[in-house]
Chains A and B, each alone.
Chain A
């Protein structure tokens, strides 16, 4: 049996598709940037803080790393209001889950980045009389961030794919719009092939950029 592919009908849904793509990109960019900032702050807290700060921060990181994003999303949307009495919209739950999830990974990437700077750098910097914060600011973090750039970009690629999960709580991202159009047109093959192609069209340049940056930043 052969299937007759017809993509033409998708043209009339173009605004819906573009809107969905816009929502996907907005969540991807927004949560990645916010998550990176929070992840670095958590990383610094674990690096410099006393035990009363380090232990809870590590607990939070492990919590969000060791549970599936979809479970976090569903819990925040359905269970948090019951437990706390705070009602949040699907969009808020999506943003919160995505941000917390990626920030835990960025906190670990930060830890790995700092650990990747050889210990001799600490010796060399401390031997000229630098205090710990000065060593970090002037010597270790500049090198750590250079080492971290590939995993940071990698995680951003993963995050964009992760945004597709928010469709399950009816946030109108690209995948959700795909399901809406499928319901209206009864043509899931064309719809989801286009959806996949659009994700690919956004992500492929990102992975190329990541490779390029990786090659350029060797010293």
Chain B
């Protein structure tokens, strides 16, 4: 239901995506893993067109867009309409500090979907309950813990009823104790059939939850497959090198 074909993206002289393709089935969970600078976040941002690819094809459901020298640039209106059907959660939350928690969650509904406040609030409260934050509606984000902020961000994305949820290293900025609450929410969403694409460094979580894993490095997909295939039996040396860092759990053995 999501088809990405041969995406290229450069920032100035730096080539970040060098021909990346991806296919995501509805209701599945896809994980993008790889070292920093591999292009994972840029790929995610190209899926909801926060970044405009230089070349390639992006398709979500019935809508497809071509990018390239000969293709017409998309208008602000077209981009916004497309993004209203995708949800994104960011590493640094990006909550609106001048609004309450409920205000954050319903902002898209009221401003973009032109929903009446009463109906929007109903949906907002339901989403906050879904992420375990009932009772926090009137708080301002500054008063929340990192884990709570991230859950508000998830509720904000869910309120728009997106076709796909894009999650960009959503636990990387959290204290370890707070990570589990957020991952629990993601697990529940996966169980409920939400189509999701995650960029994550939480390898154990990725192994447990993801239907499909793509390992990226240097702007290309090095290896892809099921979680078992990529994590337990990586074929490419680059993948093996990357994963080796994560299985070094033993303490050094004392000799003599």
Contact = CB atoms under 8 A, between A and B. Distances in A.
Contacts of B96: 121, 124-125, 138-139
Count class of interface residues, chain B: 20 to 34
Contacts of B88: 123, 127
B112 A128 contact: yes
A136 B93 CA distance: 19
Contacts of A134: 80, 111-112
Contacts of A142: 98
A138 B110 CA distance: 11
A130 B108 contact: yes
Contacts of A129: 80-85, 108, 112-113, 160
B87 A127 contact: yes
Interface in B70-86: 76-77, 79-86
B108 A120 contact: no
A128 B48 CA distance: 10
A131 B97 contact: no
A128 B98 contact: no
What is the interface of chain A mostly: helix, strand, loop, or mixed?
helix
A168 B85 CA distance: 63
Contacts of B160: 128-129
A193 B85 CA distance: 68
A132 interface: yes
Interface of B: 48, 50, 76-77, 79-88, 90, 92-98, 107-108, 111-113, 140, 142, 153, 156-157, 160
State the 8 A-B residue pairs at the shortest beta-carbon distance, nearest first: A129-B84, A124-B94, A128-B108, A127-B88, A120-B94, A129-B112, A131-B80, A129-B83
Given A120-B92, A124-B153, 6 more contacts: A124-B156, A126-B50, A128-B87, A129-B112, A134-B80, A143-B98
